[in-house]
Amino acid sequence: MKQKEILLFGATGQIGRNLIRKLSKNNYKIIAVTRNIHRAGYILKTQANPGYLELVELKSFNLNKIEALIKRSSICINLIGILYEKRKDEFKLIHSDLPAMLSKKADEFNLEKFIHLSALGIEEAKDSKYALSKLDGEKRIKKKF
Ligand SMILES: NC(=O)c1ccc[n+]([C@@H]2O[C@H](COP(=O)([O-])OP(=O)(O)OC[C@H]3O[C@@H](n4cnc5c(N)ncnc54)[C@H](OP(=O)(O)O)[C@@H]3O)[C@@H](O)[C@H]2O)c1
């Protein structure tokens, strides 16, 4: 059976690093994206057998680099998320602009699936910037993919 490639954003996170183990056991090859390959290597290299995991460092959301990775993949999973802003408008960038761009590219390059983890209960939290940005991200993804 041909090995499918999964492009995984947020691979070093709580959910991502556990998901890598499951996916590689099911014969998926994972391209794990991180901002710091040295820190990520330390965390991730024990999570998959040789040949099942490729680490890619992206310091910024460079469109050309992201396109090149999406083109190689069958499925894209986005697990990037933050709980608080370190910079102005970071919730919008991380929870809405980035997923909108990824889902648009996934659609453009005919990926089988675009999987995005949002959060529960965000429809009710009208005064939370976190919740509003997550909700906006969901809406934009549904329009793109
Ligand atoms: N865990 C939960 O209980 C829970 C509950 C509700 C929703 N969620 C959502 O599920 C997703 C995954 O959750 P998680 O708990 O696994 O998250 P996590 O442990 O906090 O990991 C977040 C990931 O996002 C990346 N990241 C953080 N800030 C970034 C930035 N400014 N630019 C680029 N990448 C950044 C980090 O990658 P690098 O540092 O390697 O670049 C990290 O791998 C998130 O969207 C989260 O909001 C999780």
Query: Which CATH number does 5-144 carry?
Result: 3.40.50.720
Q: Is 10 in the pocket of ligand 1 (CB under 6 A)?
A: yes
Q: For the chain, what percent of residues have pLDDT higher than 90?
A: 90
What would the pLDDT profile of 20-37 be if each residue is shown by its tens digit? Answer: 999 999 999 999 999 999
Instruction: For the full predicted model, state whether its pTM sits above 0.75.
Output: yes
Q: Calculate the CA dihedral of residues 144, 71, 93, 114 and round it to 10 degrees.
A: 50
What confidence score (pLDDT) does residue 135 get?
Answer: 97
Closest alpha carbon to 31 in 55, 61, 50: 55
Look at residue 69 and give its three-state secondary structure: helix
Q: Is the pLDDT of residue 1 over 80?
A: no
Q: What is the pLDDT of residue 58?
A: 96
* Residue 13 CB–ligand 1 contact under 6 Å: yes
Which residue's CA lies nearest to atom 15 of ligand 1?
14
Domain coordinates in residue numbering, the chain: 5-144
Vertex 93 angle, CA 135 and 75, to 5°: 75
* Mean pLDDT for all residues in the chain: 95
